[in-house]
Amino acid sequence: MFSNTRRSFLQKTGLASLGLLFGADAWSKNLQQALNDYQDVSPETLATEEDFWHYVQQSYTTSGGLINLNNGGVSPSPKIVQDAMKRYHDMSNEAPSYYMWRILDQGREPLREKLANLAGIHAEELALHRNASEALETVIFGLDLKAGDEVVLSKQDYPNMINAWKQREMRDGIKLVWVNHELPSVDNDYLTNNYTQKFTAKTKIVHITHIINWNGQIMPVRQIADIAKAQGIEVLVDGAHSFAHFDF
């Protein structure tokens, strides 16, 4: 089902901002026209509009011989992004010190502004990383924790994040307190209590995955965070799979 948020996301990244940044090809103009034409169509109706989804499909170069069910950690880039990366790579190799530092580097802060606008935050709150795993690991390894401090996390968290926390456990002697959810669940109180019943006076961090990548389970992050904050516990949210998918 196509939510209003996802429609807005396509408009902002699909072609309003990317088109301005990289230059719009003919197919991207067709997609923009389709977005305009279907602006007032309900998500339920839009889900069945094959013409619209044809334009979305044509935005990518994925193989027609395989059904790609993994659009998470290995999500394909739209054609316009692929073309831009190739073009700028070639440009950089023509005169690296000039094009990389004097030309392309000038686009970093405008890009940060566009991403911040998409996220609904100030640009100064946004740090750019190569991927979500690296971004979360930067936070995990940078937190001020000492031996005996407790971190609450779940066995359904993303494997890279679990491994990062295990590294801190081995290096620094922190204690990992595990939550094991019965999923899927529509009971937010159950999901919240799974975390909060593990909180103690030694709990310093609660790590919450907003959308569990294994099955799409949405966790009640706000509900958990409010309780954690009231007890002086810091909250680290893995939002890699929730960004731009729904309002939160």
The secondary structure of residue 78, as a DSSP letter, is P
> What does the pLDDT read at residue 4?
53
Q: At what angle do helices 26-37 and 50-57 cross, to 10 degrees?
A: 150
What does the pLDDT average to over 191-200? 98
| Residue 203, beta-bridge partner list | 150
> What does the pLDDT read at residue 203?
98
pLDDT at 3 over 70: no
Asked which of 121-130, 151-160, 170-179, 197-206 is least confident by mean pLDDT, the reply is 121-130
The two tokens of residue 9 are 């996301």
Higher pLDDT, 215 or 64: 215
pLDDT at 205 over 70: yes
> What does the pLDDT read at residue 22?
41
Confidence of residue 29 (pLDDT cuts 50, 70, 90): low
What does DSSP say about strands 150-154 and 203-209: parallel, antiparallel, or unpaired?
A: parallel
> What does the pLDDT read at residue 227?
98
- pLDDT tens digits, 55-113: 888 888 888 888 877 776 677 888 988 999 999 999 999 999 999 999 999 999 999 99
| Residue 55, beta-bridge partner list | none
The share of the chain scoring above pLDDT 70, in percent, equals 87
Contacts of 85 by beta carbon, 8 Å cutoff, 6+ apart: 77
Taking alpha carbons only, the member of 37, 31, 40, 25 closest to residue 11 is 31
The share of the chain scoring above pLDDT 90, in percent, equals 61
Question: Could you tell me how far CA 162 lies from the centroid of its own chain?
Answer: 17
Taking alpha carbons only, the member of 212, 194, 202, 136 closest to residue 173 is 202
CATH class of 132-238: alpha beta
Taking alpha carbons only, the member of 197, 204, 198 closest to residue 232 is 204
pLDDT at 21 over 60: no
Mean pLDDT across the chain: 87
Please name the residue ranges forming H helices in 60-187. 79-94, 96-98, 108-119, 132-142, 159-172
Asked if residues 152 and 198 have their Cβ atoms less than 8 Å apart, the reply is yes
Taking alpha carbons only, the member of 229, 224, 197, 196 closest to residue 208 is 224
Domain spans, the chain: 4-94, 132-238
Q: Indicate the pTM of the whole model.
A: 0.78
Rounded to 5°, the CA angle 191-72-46 comes to 90
